[in-house]
Amino acid sequence: MKFEDRLQNALKTEVSTIDEGKFIGRMHAAQHQLDLKRTRFQSSMITAAFLLIFGWASYSQLNDSIFNTQFVEYYSYEDNYEYFSEIDSSDYDMYIADMALYLLDDDDVWAILEFFEEEEYEYAFNEKEIKL
């Protein structure tokens, strides 16, 4: 037998008829499912994009306002004694006064003045009086 005829024989299949009504019903159901999947995919992509943008914006804001600035303020290793806010300046005055009284117990006025000078305590000096 010719090769092509053998192929044709091998492919001969008894085909039963297909129910058109049921097929169309199933086709529309499958189509509906596909549309639903597509809609879900689109909405999840939009949500993911929104979360990504929102997350990035929040992170960059936090990064600028809290971490960087606060870190410099609280964890600076520089000795910045010139920085005193209005709130804690009274504490500093108290500290200077306590130290001055402590040194006064030893009756050494010069030690007190030296301390004031080291601390650059502006209110303690009256330049005119010292010159006189």
Which residues of the chain form contacts with other proteins (CB under 8 A)?
1, 3-4, 6-11, 13, 15-18, 20, 23-24, 26-27, 30-31, 34
**Which residue, 4 or 122, has its beta carbon nearer to other proteins?**
4
End-to-end CA distance of the chain: 137
Q: Least CB distance from residue 36 to other proteins, whole Å?
A: 14
Q: Least CB distance from residue 2 to other proteins, whole Å?
A: 10
**Which residue, 29 or 97, has its beta carbon nearer to other proteins?**
29
**Which residue, 16 or 85, has its beta carbon nearer to other proteins?**
16
Q: Least CB distance from residue 22 to other proteins, whole Å?
A: 10
Q: What is the DSSP letter of 105?
A: T
Q: What residues have CB less than 8 Å from 106, skipping those under 6 apart?
A: none
Phi-psi category of 125—alpha, beta or left, where left has phi over 0 and alpha has psi -120 to 50? beta
Give me the half-sphere count of Cα atoms (radius 13 Å) on the Cβ side of residue 37. 6
R_g (Cα) of the chain, nearest Å: 44
**Which residue, 4 or 106, has its beta carbon nearer to other proteins?**
4
**Which residue, 38 or 63, has its beta carbon nearer to other proteins?**
38
Q: Least CB distance from residue 71 to other proteins, whole Å?
A: 56
The Cα-based distances of 14 to 17, 18, 88 in angstroms read 10, 12, 98
Q: Least CB distance from residue 7 to other proteins, whole Å?
A: 6
Q: What residues have CB less than 8 Å from 104, skipping those under 6 apart?
A: 112
